[in-house]
A and B are shown apart, each in its own frame.
Chain A
Amino acid sequence: MTSAYELTDIRHSYGDRCVVDIPTLSVRSGEILGLVGPSGAGKSTLLRLLNFLETPTTGSIAYAGAEIDGDVSLATRRDVTTVFQRPMLLRRSVAANVRIGLNLRGVETKDRSTERWLDRLGLTDLADAPARTLSAGEAQRVAFARALVVEPSVLLLDEPTGNLDPYNVGLLEEIVRSDSAERGTTVVVVTHDVFQARRLADRTGLMVSGRMIELAETRAFFSTPQRPETAAFVRGDLLM
């Protein structure tokens, strides 16, 4: 199986504080990788590194088999996108927000992809509505549509359903599953919700204090955790 990412000796610090410390991590192409762990474990920082929004202090990242050094090419950057917990939607219509990634790429938007994604996320009736008037669930659906319309090879999700109702959670998880299955999209999903990782992920990793404590097939991660921290986290105990 090929790798989407190969991380080697990654350490990332803000000032003196090391927030990510990962000697080795391989993200498989086409998998859904879940990352769980307490707040401040470095999960979101890791996602920013994977989206090339920050450069690791030390260590190397290979993407799609090629070592990333220095400036990341625009093409590589445009291969990856993130859906954030709180999407920042533009003061434009819903459809214009969904189209933004295509506009940035200078893609002709006459094709039907915008309409298709609006439809898939149940936003067709809201297409002309101002995006700033949407509910949290609708706004996050717009964020998923604008991320997927550009057909990224890698979809990074940072607490994507953090404060949404079960209907929207179910809808968005189904979108992630089907997009990954249909297009082979690699997905890395950071979540507080261990049950979401269990429902969605092929493999799950536990991060605590910047380190990957355990990474295993999701079934094994939950049924036969190898580390006491994992066992405690899976049980629902609080990890500091």
Chain B
Amino acid sequence: METLGRAFADALGLLWGLDAALLETVGLTLRVTLVALTIALVLGIPIGAAIGLARHLPGRWLLVPLIYTGMGLPPVTVGLFTYLLLSNQGPLGGLGWLFTPAGMIVAQTIIAFPLVVGLTMAAVQGVDPNLPIQMLSLGATRRQVATVTLLEARVGVTAAVVAAYGAIISEVGAVMLVGGNIEGETRVLTTAIVLETRKGNFALALALGIILLALAFLTNFAFHRLQVHQGVR
């Protein structure tokens, strides 16, 4: 208990005097998270919406459980898979992405993508099934029906964004394997916490943990404001 108390006090001190290395770790964390999140959303939302709208899609009986399984992929397994993919002998070894932020983004995107697809699909399926025919009757094209449906499902789609963001920013196993936790290059908040804890630098580890939580909270607070605003209309 005493250790925790002292660590907490020291952590606050460290936060007060944010140093350059810490800022760099925070910066890389945000960069990797935002790029992976953006890719996962750009690919995942249209695919999730398409599957949600195509209620009679052949092979759906297999596809949907596969997506649900993907939503719970063990990150460390994804890390291993990405590692093998990007290693020198791997099919994508030529890219030279192992132990780089790009490799970490690949792993994070693989983790977040099924979450976005699955939750978007569920949100779209929750929309009133009468919407398509009534919108068509009002002169919508097929594409406009899809857009209106996604907008109707926006509260659920925001939940998909939140879940993907949370999965990426808090993930440690995959980025540890693929990134290698190299200081100044691939060290992010989660891997830094693991390292500092192992070294016995509890204050620093705790300070990093507080920053991680603060980032998660601030972003989720913003998303929630957005959801509340959307729910009214």
On whether the beta carbons of A146 and B130 are closer than 8 Å, the reply is no
Q: Which residues does chain A contribute within 8 Å of B1, judged by CB atoms?
A: none
Q: Which residues does chain A contribute within 8 Å of B131, judged by CB atoms?
A: 88
A74 to B, closest residue via Cβ? B141
On whether the beta carbons of A84 and B130 are closer than 8 Å, the reply is yes
On whether the beta carbons of A77 and B134 are closer than 8 Å, the reply is no
On whether the beta carbons of B141 and A81 are closer than 8 Å, the reply is no
Q: Which residues does chain B contribute within 8 Å of A91, judged by CB atoms?
A: 152, 154, 230-231, 233
On whether the beta carbons of A150 and B138 are closer than 8 Å, the reply is yes
B136 to A, closest residue via Cβ? A53
Q: Does A120 contact B (CB under 8 A)?
A: no
On whether the beta carbons of B137 and A150 are closer than 8 Å, the reply is no
On whether the beta carbons of B233 and A81 are closer than 8 Å, the reply is no
A48 to B130, CA, bound (A): 13
On whether the beta carbons of A147 and B130 are closer than 8 Å, the reply is no
Give min CB distance, B27 to chain A, whole Å: 38
Q: Does A100 contact B (CB under 8 A)?
A: yes
Most buried by A among B134, B151, B152, B232: B134
**Number of interface residues, chain A, beta carbon within 8 A:** 25
> With A84-B130, A88-B128, A91-B152 in contact, do A130 and B138 touch (Cβ < 8 Å)?
no
**Number of interface residues, chain B, beta carbon within 8 A:** 21
On whether the beta carbons of B138 and A104 are closer than 8 Å, the reply is yes
Q: Which residues does chain B contribute within 8 Å of A48, judged by CB atoms?
A: 133
On whether the beta carbons of B140 and A130 are closer than 8 Å, the reply is no
| B19-70 at interface with A (beta carbon < 8 Å) | none
Q: Which residues does chain A contribute within 8 Å of B91, judged by CB atoms?
A: none
Give min CB distance, B125 to chain A, whole Å: 15
Q: Which residues does chain A contribute within 8 Å of B148, judged by CB atoms?
A: 90, 100
A87 to B148, CA, bound (A): 15
A105 to B144, CA, bound (A): 10
Q: Which residues does chain A contribute within 8 Å of B230, judged by CB atoms?
A: 91
A150 to B134, CA, bound (A): 14
Q: State which of A53, A78, A90, A147 has its C-beta within 8 Å of the C-beta of B133.
A: A53
| A57-114 at interface with B (beta carbon < 8 Å) | 74, 77-78, 81-82, 84, 86-88, 90-93, 96, 100-101, 104-105
On whether the beta carbons of A101 and B138 are closer than 8 Å, the reply is yes
Q: Does A51 contact B (CB under 8 A)?
A: yes
On whether the beta carbons of A146 and B138 are closer than 8 Å, the reply is yes
B131 to A, closest residue via Cβ? A88
Q: Which residues does chain B contribute within 8 Å of A93, judged by CB atoms?
A: 233
On whether the beta carbons of B137 and A53 are closer than 8 Å, the reply is yes
B133 to A, closest residue via Cβ? A53
On whether the beta carbons of B134 and A87 are closer than 8 Å, the reply is yes
B contact set with A: CB distance below 8 Å: 128, 130-131, 133-141, 144, 148, 151-152, 154, 230-233
Shortest beta-carbon contacts, A-B, top 7: A78-B139, A88-B130, A82-B137, A101-B138, A88-B134, A104-B140, A88-B128
